[in-house]
Each structure stands twice: as structure tokens, then as C-alpha cells.
Amino acid sequence: MTTFPQGFVWGAATASYQIEGAVREDGRGPSIWDVFSHTPGKVADGHTGDVACDHYHRYREDVAIMEDLGLHAYRFSVSWPRVLPGGTFNAAGLDFYDRLVDELLARRISPIATLYHWDLPAELDWRNPDTAAKFADYTEIVHHRLGDRVATWTTLNEPWVSAFVGYGSGRHAPGVTDPAAAFTAAHHLLRAHALGAQVLRAGGAGEVSVTLNLTPTVGDPEVTTLIDGLANRLFLDPVLRGAYPDDIRAHIAKFTDLGLDDLPFEAIDVLGVNYYTIARLAADPASPGHEEYPGSEGIAWLPPHGVPTEMGWEVVPSGLEELLLRISRDYPGTPLMITENGAAYDDVVKDGRVPDTDRIAFLDGHFRAAHNAIQRGADLRGYLVWSLLDNFEWARGYHKRFGLVRVDYESLERLPKDSAHWYREVIARNGLD
């Protein structure tokens, strides 16, 4: 195994709605995902996050697992509807994160807090410009309580998904299918990030971050330029340069007269990168395009090469290496952290173990790709595996398992997979000094 630089951070990540459960306890209000998952036909087999992994009650057990694995850091998200159900402050909801952070610190695990990982309070909507200001108010409340113990703060997780899967294809909550709504939501999410980052900066946050899911494109420039713009530059440029790229600004104008000049800006300290796969593209006049990429008619998404993951995603470790180098080249001086990378496989329990060799091979390849990027000049500070636990995989329900730790959804028993034991050894060989 290659050796990573001193101080390199190893960890894992989760999200509140995917693991916490306890959706009606201690004053928590409904989120758009509560509404969506309880709507027939929206989530596979009618699964919901009502119980999930019951992390709300079992967080001490889960943090003990993290300690056993030797994790340096744990990225979790705060549930907005726990903290401000119906717009009213709920101290009991925030108390949970107090307990979680204290438990992490007691076991020498650095907490990384994500303020928004898709569980928007049900009464709010990203099409409404006021939601960005409400996010800033929520940010101030959470940081005021936890900022003395949490150094790294992430405003949003994957705003592309929130906008284009939530409001474009409608496969995610709130289930809207409207290109104009998708671009409107994207703009307001970017405003929310900047306003939240300003609040964090004013409050003395140690590190301010945002996490973007980024998808390298492969194919002729005539088809990749637009998709790269919609998937990547639409968010990279405003976050890191303070403005939309000219070609994407013109493309948005084809769908909406939304004003784009009211975009505030606040520099970040580290960019969170979520990477899973690439997009292979080709020109095809007969293709209707992709509903999550408005205006992509005439572009075809090609099938994956080789054996994909259970999500149907091609396994391309070199894509991560090139992505990190591309960001370093196009946005110089940007420190990076991989905030999600992992794979879903059809795990099977055998003799009390989960021999998930496919996942080990996946992670090994991507770790090596990340190391190559560092050797070639990328300022990569850490690597957080997705995910610590098997969990509620959004519209796929409980059918796709990404976890290092298997969760039996009936007994809720935790069982570290072989990949977890392997990861422990990787971390031990690359200690944090």
C-alpha cells in the first residue's frame, strides 16, 4: 500500500435522513423526504426513513465502531427539521447533535458537520428565494451551539442532486419535473451556500466548505462541453470564482428568465469532492437527452465498460485522479477533500462475515488514484468513505448497500464487513501525525 502524507485525514460519512430514524421524536418535524417516501410509488417497495439504522438511539454504538476502525474524522449531517420544525427552534433536536459531537470527541474522532444533506423541512421549497435566507438563519443557530467543538463546516451536500434530481427528473424529493424549476432551485441553493458561508465566517468557523458531486465526462468536446457545464462548472465556478460560466448562463436563459446577478460570494477553505463514476457521451441525433440535464437532446449516455456496481455505475478509479488534477489546474489554490467515495454491492453474510472483496478492490483502486493525484500536485487533505453504515439509499430504499458496516434492517444489528477490517489496516499504516 502506498503511503499518504502526514496529516492526511481518513474517515467515513453518513447523512441524517439515511441513518437516524426517530422521525417523530423529540419535536422533529417532517422533511420533504418524509413526505416523498410516504407517497406511494416514489421509493422502492414503499421504504421510508422512519427507522433507517436507528442511529438516533444507537449513536454511541456507531461511534464505538468508528473508534475501533481508527477513523480520524466522521462527516455527519444535521437534520434541519429537527432543529427548526415549522420554523420554530427545537432545543431537543439540537441536543442530539450535542451528544453526538461530545461522543465523537471523547473517542478522538473529529466531527465534520454538513448543514444540509437533502432533508429540507417540508414547509420549505428551493424554488422560493426566501429559502436561502432561512438556511442562513438555521446555519447561525447550529453553529452557535456546536461551533466551539466542530471545526469543519459544510454548507450543502451535492446541490446538483437537490436541484436536478429533485426538481428536474423528480426521482428525488420533492418530485418536481420542470427544467425551469431545476435551474431556479440550483440558483437558490448556490445563494444559500454563500449566505451560510458568510454566517459561518462571521461566527469564526475553523473551516468553511461545500460538497459537490462531480462527474468527469468522456467523449467529443461537442457533446461533453454542455454536460460538463451542467454537471460540474454550474457549481464549481460560482463557488470558487463567484460567477456562472458564460456558456451556462446563456443556456439557463433558454429555460427561465431567472436573474442570475444576485449571487453572493464567500471564499471557502476546502472543497468537498464526491466522486462515484464518469459519464461516457456520444452525439446521437435520435437521443431525447437526459431529463436531469435540460437541453441535452442529441446527446446519448453510453453504457458502462466492464462490470458496474450495483447502482449500474462504471468503476473508473482513474476518473478520480483526473478530476482532482482538473480542479487543481482550473481552480488553483483550492484545498480538496474527498467527502464521498464508495460502492454498492450485493453483500452476502457467510459464516458470520461479509466477504465484500469487490468493495475492497473498488476502494483500493480509488485510494491509489487519489495518491497518484497527490504525487502529481493535487492538494488533497483527506478521504471520507461512503458510507459508514448500510442505509436508506433514497429512491432505491434499502436495496443498495454502500456501508463498511452491514446493518440488518430487522434486528438493526451491526456487522463490520471485510472492507471495514481492511480499511482499519489502511488507516493504521497511514497514521495521522
Rounded distance between C-alpha atoms, residue 130 and residue 28, angstroms: 22
SS (HEC) of 316-359 = CHHHHHHHHHHHHHHCCCCCEEEEECCCCCCCCCECCECCCHHH
Answer yes or no: is 117 a known binding residue: yes
Active site residue 314: no
Answer yes or no: is 157 a known binding residue: yes
| Identified catalytic residue from 103, 158, 266, 314 | 158
Q: What is the dihedral of CA 408, 414, 419, 422, to 10 degrees?
A: -160
Rounded distance between C-alpha atoms, residue 49 and residue 118, angstroms: 13
Q: Which residues pair with 13 in a beta bridge?
A: 75, 386
Closest CA to 422 of 344, 343, 361: 361
Please, are residues 79 and 30 in contact by the beta-carbon 8 Å criterion? no
DSSP 8-state symbol, 121: B
Please, are residues 142 and 94 in contact by the beta-carbon 8 Å criterion? yes
Answer yes or no: is 276 a known binding residue: yes
Active site residue 340: yes
Closest CA to 110 of 77, 148, 71, 155: 71
Closest CA to 56 of 39, 36, 76, 31: 76
Instruction: Please state whether beta strands 405-407 and 414-416 pair in parallel, antiparallel, or not at all (unpaired).
Output: antiparallel
Answer yes or no: is 313 a known binding residue: no
Answer yes or no: is 232 a known binding residue: no
Answer yes or no: is 386 a known binding residue: yes
Answer yes or no: is 375 a known binding residue: no
Binding site per annotation, positions? 18, 117, 157, 276, 386, 393-394
Q: Which residues are annotated as a binding site for substrate?
A: 18, 117, 157, 276, 386, 393-394
> Catalytic amino acids?
158, 340
